[in-house]
């Protein structure tokens, strides 16, 4: 009992003790600011921190953009590789490259594009039929889509009429679905129904024929592998398969502003009034030579050259199946020789990786 009482009295005295003055002074709020320093940042310090963050962002953002564009370029090259292999598979099966675009005369038979008549594209009034972008569908794992299209050589089989649209009589307008394999991921226009890969119909200083008369704005070339009513075999590639361009990127007709979404991978070229090749282009101008996007003249530029929304150049596929990137500064006469299949020019240096 004595011990318990003593312990109780001792604990009572201990609990009743007041803290020393120096302890309360140390933890008093008014003393805490003086001993620990300022609680916040000054305006100068905040500005320095913001400047450092801005500098880091300025260094990192371009790097991220460059990385993303590199990924898009890789995807674009893969797309073009798939398209190229599909064309080569067709070529192996049929012993000829597919026609760049199919044109019929007014009697419903193939238009003769081999005559010396320089105005054949303006003869009569004919519409566009099956383009090469449709022919390759089964080899792009799109057999069901291909089977649903009207491919007969009649007015019901037209893929473009005088107003540059898939005619209602065709019934194929509902088949205009996005095909990412035909759309460059770097394109500033996101709609995947637009085709960013055009067949190389040839090239040179002057077109084989053109329309409208006297202006020469919408070009038809016939010295490449994918031109109007073409049926070119490997035996016709006198320059060698590794020295002839097959398909190249385009940024023009794929986002034609006057007609918008009407220009898509399903449309073919047409002859007669307002004749124009579509899904194909000729190598007349340097890569990305045209930078303006104003008005319907995109129709004209789309037939004259190639380009892309990549930085300083665009991709091409070669008839041997390889994919090459050509810079905007690539020599134009050299590119024109590469666009032709039988000009006799072997341009090894231009195709060196």
Is the per-residue pLDDT at 1 higher than 50? no
- The pLDDT, as a whole number, for residue 96 is 92
Cis peptide upstream of residue 92 (ω within 30 degrees of 0): no
- The pLDDT, as a whole number, for residue 199 is 94
Which among 3-12, 157-166, 279-288 has the top mean pLDDT?
279-288
pLDDT tens digit sequence for 319-333 = 999 999 999 889 999
| Strands of the sheet with 197-203, listed across from one edge | 280-283, 197-203, 245-249, 313-318, 323-327
pLDDT tens digit sequence for 289-298 = 875 555 445 6
Give the separation between CA 116 and CA 224, rounded to whole angstroms: 17
Over residues 33-37, mean pLDDT: 50
Strand intervals (E) in the chain: 197-203, 209-211, 218-220, 245-249, 280-283, 313-318, 323-327
Is the per-residue pLDDT at 75 higher than 80? yes
- The pLDDT, as a whole number, for residue 254 is 46
pLDDT tens digit sequence for 152-207 = 655 445 666 555 556 555 556 667 788 889 989 888 777 767 889 999 999 888 77
List the single range of 74-83, 118-127, 164-173, 233-242 with lowest mean pLDDT: 164-173
Over residues 199-222, mean pLDDT: 77
- The CB density around residue 1, as the number of other CB atoms within 10 Å, is 5
């Amino acid at each position: 009992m004595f011990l318990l009482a003593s312990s109780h009295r001792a604990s009572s005295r201990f609990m009743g003790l007041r803290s020393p003055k120096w302890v309360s002074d140390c933890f008093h709020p008014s003393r805490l600011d003086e001993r620990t320093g300022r609680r916040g940042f000054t305006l100068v310090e905040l500005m320095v921190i913001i400047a450092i963050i801005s500098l880091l962002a300025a260094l990192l953002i371009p790097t991220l953009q460059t990385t993303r564009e590199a990924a898009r370029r890789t995807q674009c090259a893969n797309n073009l590789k798939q398209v190229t292999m599909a064309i080569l598979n067709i070529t192996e099966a049929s012993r000829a490259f597919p026609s760049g675009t199919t044109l019929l005369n007014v009697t419903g038979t193939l238009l003769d594009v081999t005559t010396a008549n320089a105005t054949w594209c303006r003869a009569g009034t004919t519409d566009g039929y099956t383009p090469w972008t449709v022919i390759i569908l089964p080899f792009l794992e799109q057999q069901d889509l291909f089977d649903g299209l009207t491919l007969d050589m009649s007015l019901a089989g037209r893929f473009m009429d005088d107003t540059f649209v898939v005619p209602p009589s065709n019934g194929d307008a509902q088949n205009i679905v996005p095909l990412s394999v035909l759309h460059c991921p770097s394109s500033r226009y996101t709609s995947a129904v637009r085709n960013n890969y055009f067949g190389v119909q040839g090239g040179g200083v002057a077109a084989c024929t053109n329309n409208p008369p006297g202006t020469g704005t919408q070009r038809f070339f016939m010295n490449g592998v994918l031109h109007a009513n073409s049926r070119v075999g490997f035996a016709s590639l006198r320059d060698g398969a590794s020295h002839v361009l097959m398909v190249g990127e385009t940024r023009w007709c794929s986002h034609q502003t006057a007609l918008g979404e009407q220009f898509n991978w399903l449309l073919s070229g047409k002859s007669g009034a307002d004749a124009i090749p579509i899904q194909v282009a000729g190598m007349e101008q340097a890569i990305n030579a045209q930078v303006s996007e104003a008005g319907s003249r995109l129709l004209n530029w789309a037939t004259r050259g190639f380009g892309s929304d990549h930085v300083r150049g665009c991709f091409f596929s070669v008839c041997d199946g390889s994919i090459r990137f050509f810079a905007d500064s690539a020599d134009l006469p050299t590119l024109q020789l590469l666009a032709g299949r039988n000009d006799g020019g072997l341009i090894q240096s231009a195709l060196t990786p």
